[in-house]
Structure 1
Amino acid sequence: MRSFTHRTVRKFALVGAATATGLLLTACGSDDGKSGMDHGGTSATASASASAAPSASASGAADAASAPGAFNDADVMFAQMMIPHHEQALEMAKLAQGRAEDAEVKKLVTAIERAQDPEIRKMRAWLKGWGRPESAGHGGGGGHGMAGMMSEQDMKDLAAAQGKAFDRRFAERMIAHHDGAVDMAKAERKDGANPTAKALADDVVRTQSDEIAALRRILDRL
């Protein structure tokens, strides 16, 4: 009888220990569920947070993240003015189709299209993320008052040219156009606050200065 009682007590003790261990593991699991990110785990809460991220991006967070950090009025003006400036450069490049004759002019046209179309999309995203309008009426008349912008008559004259005459007129007009863009980009580098916007301004100064030099060489031999 004593032996039976001893075995029974031992059995109950083992069961009690197992139960206590299970409760402890459950409690730990509950804690991880509440602070899984602290433990480096993949809790349901963490998964829910991850799945909620796209919704935040859809509401504009992704656009703001495309130009993180502080921004000021100079950054906003840079984007608002450079967008129509780039758009006109793309219009000029489009006119080269079927009109340009010089191989180097055609090569520069392709480079302008590849660089400036993505930059327009970037700057639109910045303005959206910053909660600013794309256009603030700078210069008026669709931006034709900005440095280097061509008038409607200038565009008509360019469209009317063909072959070498087009190449020469395109080079002359694009040099003036790029000069205006470089001036705006230098102002952004000086007065802007947003690192991403200032980095784009650096790119504009570098690439368009190189293209101005190439266009001048083209003019010298035409």
Structure 2
Amino acid sequence: MKNTIKIIAVVGLILFTQACSKDDDNKIKVQDHDQNQMMSIMHSMMTKMMAMPMSKDPDDDFAMMMKMHHQGAIDMSSAELKNGDDPKMKEIAQKIIDAQKAEIVQLETFLAVHNPHMMSMEFTDQMMKEMEKSGRQADLQVINGDIDHDFAMLMIGHHHAAIENSRLELIYGHDASMKTMAQKIIDAQQAEIKELQEWLLSDGK
């Protein structure tokens, strides 16, 4: 009888240990934001954008802001190409670099000749609110130190911010080339968000 009780106790302990081990495997892993490579790039970009002098001309400020925002995406994508492992994430990263480098050239060409003249405090206020919201949202993201996962998570938020600011350009902007670019950004980045979400939902496989 005593041996039977001992056997039952040992089996119970083994099953409990296995259950705990499975629970540990299912726990969400989190890395401190200050130690995370992707988050460091995001914070650096946000700091530069928040310090950007505002002309209060919607087209001019949109172009300046988007140039910095695109560079942040390029830096994150370059880190993914260098340190990531997943072929799909590397493919998206290269696509982002190619598209946004080309758009930066267009933005710089526009800024070189554009004379700010259309003032809109409402646009400026809305854009600042969007940048602040984007920063808060990034700080709420669960990141775990896996470069592919963190790239996907943070790039979704990064794209959402670009889409919202592009919508502001469509509402308040006047320059046809900037409005065309804004719509192009919305269309392209909505499609990329879907790709990133699908990858994450498939457990990154």
- Report whether the alignment pairs 1:177 with 2:158: yes
Corresponding position of 2:34 = none
Larger radius of gyration: 1
Q: How far does the alpha carbon of each residue in 1:81-120 deviate from its partner, in whole angstroms, 9 at most, with x for none? A: 1011001000101101232111111110011001001111
Distance verdict in 2 for CA 1:94–1:147, change over 3 Å: farther
Corresponding position of 2:107 = 123
Aligned-partner Cα distance in 2 for 1:126–1:94: 25
Misfit runs of 4+, over 2 Å:
145-151
Does the 8 Å contact 1:188/1:198 carry over to 2? yes
Does the 8 Å contact 1:74/1:191 carry over to 2? yes
Letter of the 1:206 counterpart: D
Give the alignment's TM-score, normalised by structure 2: 0.59
Corresponding position of 2:172 = 191
Does the 8 Å contact 2:166/2:182 carry over to 1? yes
Does the 8 Å contact 2:152/2:196 carry over to 1? yes
Q: How big is the shift at 1:148?
A: 3.6
Does the 8 Å contact 1:85/1:149 carry over to 2? no
Alignment of 1:1-222 (within 5 A): 73-131=57-115, 145=131, 148=134, 161=145, 165-222=146-203
Distance verdict in 2 for CA 1:123–1:146, change over 3 Å: farther
Give the alignment's TM-score, normalised by structure 1: 0.55
Corresponding position of 1:10 = none
Aligned-partner Cα distance in 1 for 2:133–2:68: 12
Aligned-partner Cα distance in 2 for 1:113–1:125: 18
Cα RMSD of the aligned pairs, angstroms, is 2.9
Distance verdict in 2 for CA 1:147–1:122, change over 3 Å: farther
Aligned-partner Cα distance in 1 for 2:151–2:87: 13
Corresponding position of 1:6 = none
Structure 1 regions of 5+ residues with no counterpart? 1-71, 133-137, 140-144
Structure 2 regions of 5+ residues with no counterpart? 1-55, 117-123, 126-130
Taking every aligned residue pair, what percent have the same amino acid on both sides?
26
Letter of the 1:105 counterpart: M
Letter of the 2:193 counterpart: I
The alignment covers a number of residue pairs equal to: 136
Q: How big is the shift at 1:166?
A: 1.2
Corresponding position of 1:68 = none
Q: How far does the alpha carbon of each residue in 1:27-56 deviate from its partner, in whole angstroms, 9 at most, with x for none? A: xxxxxxxxxxxxxxxxxxxxxxxxxxxxxx
Aligned-partner Cα distance in 1 for 2:165–2:189: 12
